[in-house]
Amino acid sequence: MMEKEFKTIIGLEIHLQLKTLSKMFCSCSTEFAAPANTNTCPVCLGWPGTLPSVNQKAVLFGLKGALALNCRINRESGFDRKNYFYPDLPKGFQITQYARPLGFEGFFTLGEKNIGIRRVHLEEDAGRTIYNQGNGEIDFNRAGIPLVEIVTEPDIESPGEARDFLKDLRLLILYLGISDCSMEEGSFRCDANISLKGEEEKISQNQVELKNLNSFQAIFRALEYEEKRQKKALLDGEEIKGETRGWDEKEGKTFLLREKGKKEDYRYFPEPDLPDLILRQDLIGSVAEDIPEPPMQREKRWQEEWGIGKEETGVLISDKAKADYFEKAANFASPKEVAKWIKEHLYAHVFPLEIPPEYLSEIIKMVEEGDLSFPQGKEVLKETLETGRKPGEIIDDKGWKQISNQEYIEELIEEIIENNPGVVQDYLAGKEKAIQNLMGKGMKKSEGQANPQTLRSLLEERLKGREEDG
Ligand SMILES: [Zn+2]
């Protein structure tokens, strides 16, 4: 019997913490490791009689994210209350966007494929419960932290695709500068829905939701585990129950957190304490103008325009400051060489470097054209980075400029040949190594400034000529 084939269907929900200094609806700080309950006020603690006010920056960041994900924008959106009880939710409800999200019907291009983006909306975070020796302790510093939630369509077809999507999405968000996207600090969090569908079946089985996946590796492994578990169950004729599962990193298994009974009723209703969120067209336009070229598109352009491969671009593209710097420097020297220098000699540096990109390309160009030896180039780079002085000045001070001038080198060669007839004889008699001796004499005579490649090739040419003459 042929083994039954299943199609994997994955949808993701990503929560990003927006990079604002203050919270979504009050002026409390969003600082990460502040002592517990120090970044709180009556608004984010939900005291009666307080009123929220919207953080403008958070709205602009959310809008930037929605536009970069090719979403349609609700010019008139608003906030809703999502009601539920949980100890770390001080108001007894979360302010979110339900009926009218900021953005909807977008897409994200992953390789050759578009992944649908169902919605992008703003909301506030809840507090955090810390379990300590059987006691639950609550830290409200996170309560009211501005988040944007991105919900994809169930267009993802494998655990690997989910991981690639998240990696590329994270990079895009970093380029936008709207979130730090730190998985360790919880500013980039992901939940995943996964279900399987038999080839001939129209609808998929019940969805299993995976919660608290806090690394790309965990996301991939949890989905892979779940894909296998569900496949086996279906082949055994079991029904997949709709449930929420966690991921046990140590055991490498998902485990049941709770069964999904009937759909939770959050009793959403419009937040009465906040007016509608109305975005003017010119504001949307100016935010759109501020969106940089997406990293994956940029990488592709470099490959097409400059012929540099993935191996070189990967290191550059992963950091926008580095990519921007590279692109500027690559305008003045060979992009391939610039990429190589950044990758091999500047990997430990923070970008943008403190020297203008032109300095870097000047050095690279001189090495490429033979005006500086490679070790000299590296030394000049080191010094310009330390002192900020122009490469030209450093080279002048050291008297290092190599001489590639053909006329000068030809004269030099005549002189060496003239003064070392014995060595020349040796070479002509077949002692190839004798050329090293002549090279050494030439370098010494020019005080180390002759370009060794030029010297060598002209010397060989000259001696061969003599051979033929002779
Ligand atoms: Zn507050």
Residues 301, 350: one domain? yes
Cα–Cα distances (Å) from 59 to 23, 25, 29, 290, in that order, read 12, 11, 17, 15
Residue finishing a domain among 378, 398, 418: 398
Q: Are 68 and 291 in contact (CB under 8 A)?
A: yes
Residues 245, 363: one domain? no
Cis peptide preceding 35, ω within 30 of 0: no
SS3 (DSSP) at 251: coil
Split at pLDDT 50, 70, 90, the class of 258 is: confident
Bridge-based pairing of strands 93-96 and 103-110 is: unpaired
Residues 118, 266: one domain? yes
Compute, in angstroms, the gap from residue 389 CA to the centroid of ligand 1: 48
Compute, in angstroms, the gap from residue 330 CA to the centroid of ligand 1: 47
In percent, the amount of the chain with pLDDT more than 70 equals 96
Residues 350, 463: one domain? no
List, for residues 201-222, the tens digit of each pLDDT value.
777 668 899 998 889 999 999 9
Residues 40, 124: one domain? yes
CA count, 13 A, side-chain hemisphere, 23: 26
DSSP assignment, residue 17? E
Residues 277, 413: one domain? no
Compute, in angstroms, the gap from residue 334 CA to the centroid of ligand 1: 52
Phi and psi at 26, nearest 5°, equal: -150, 180
Compute, in angstroms, the gap from residue 40 CA to the centroid of ligand 1: 4
Split at pLDDT 50, 70, 90, the class of 311 is: confident
Compute, in angstroms, the gap from residue 151 CA to the centroid of ligand 1: 27
Residue finishing a domain among 283, 306, 326: 283
List, for residues 432-464, the tens digit of each pLDDT value.
888 889 989 988 888 777 778 888 888 888 888
Q: Are 143 and 88 in contact (CB under 8 A)?
A: yes
Burial profile 67-102: b = 16 or more Cβ within 10 angstroms, e = fewer: bbbebebbeebbbbbbeeeeebbbbebbbbbbebbb
Average pLDDT over residues 395-406: 76
Cα–Cα distances (Å) from 117 to 8, 67, 71, 151, in that order, read 18, 11, 7, 6
Split at pLDDT 50, 70, 90, the class of 376 is: confident
What whole-number distance in Å separates Cα of residue 292 and Cα of residue 178? 12
Lowest mean pLDDT among 15-29, 33-47, 302-316: 302-316
Task: Give pLDDT, residue 398.
Answer: 83
Place of tokens 């006020």: 41
Residues 45, 169: one domain? yes
DSSP 264-331: P----EE-TTS--EE--HHHHHHHHHTPPPPHHHHHHHHHHHH---HHHHHHHHTSHHHHHHHHHHTT
Task: Give pLDDT, residue 2.
Answer: 57
What residue type is assigned to position 408 of the chain? Y
Residues 218, 300: one domain? no
List, for residues 5-28, the tens digit of each pLDDT value.
899 999 999 999 999 999 999 999
Residues 410, 336: one domain? no
Q: For residue 87, tell me if it sits in a domain.
A: yes
Helices (H) and strands (E) in the chain, counts: 15, 16
Place of tokens 């080839």: 199
Q: For residue 453, tell me if it sits in a domain.
A: yes
Q: Rounded to an integer, what is the distance from CA 15 to the centroid of its chain? A: 17
Compute, in angstroms, the gap from residue 56 CA to the centroid of ligand 1: 15
- What's the mean pLDDT when you consider all of the chain? 91
List, for residues 277-292, the tens digit of each pLDDT value.
999 999 999 999 999 9
Compute, in angstroms, the gap from residue 141 CA to the centroid of ligand 1: 8
Average pLDDT over residues 463-468: 73
Compute, in angstroms, the gap from residue 15 CA to the centroid of ligand 1: 20
Lowest mean pLDDT among 134-143, 257-266, 362-371: 257-266
Count of structural domains, the chain: 3
Q: For residue 288, tell me if it sits in a domain.
A: no
Q: For residue 10, tell me if it sits in a domain.
A: yes
Task: Give pLDDT, residue 155.
Answer: 96
Compute, in angstroms, the gap from residue 140 CA to the centroid of ligand 1: 9
pLDDT over 70 (residue 420): yes
Per the structure, the complete domain to which residue 325 belongs is given by 293-398
Residues 436, 465: one domain? yes
pLDDT over 60 (residue 470): no
Compute, in angstroms, the gap from residue 190 CA to the centroid of ligand 1: 25
Q: Are 411 and 417 in contact (CB under 8 A)?
A: no
Residues 137, 238: one domain? yes
Residue finishing a domain among 283, 312, 346: 283
Phi-psi region of 285 (alpha: psi -120 to 50; beta: other; left: phi over 0): alpha
Neighbours of 275 (CB within 10 A): 10
The CATH number covering residue 415 comes to 1.10.10.410
H or E element in which residue 394 lies: helix 391-398
Residues 253, 384: one domain? no
Split at pLDDT 50, 70, 90, the class of 375 is: confident
Q: For residue 200, tell me if it sits in a domain.
A: yes
Q: For residue 308, tell me if it sits in a domain.
A: yes
Cα–Cα distances (Å) from 133 to 130, 152, 186, 239, in that order, read 10, 38, 23, 38
Compute, in angstroms, the gap from residue 46 CA to the centroid of ligand 1: 9
Compute, in angstroms, the gap from residue 84 CA to the centroid of ligand 1: 20
Compute, in angstroms, the gap from residue 22 CA to the centroid of ligand 1: 8
Q: For residue 1, tell me if it sits in a domain.
A: no
pLDDT over 80 (residue 469): no
Q: For residue 227, tell me if it sits in a domain.
A: yes
What whole-number distance in Å separates Cα of residue 283 and Cα of residue 266? 33
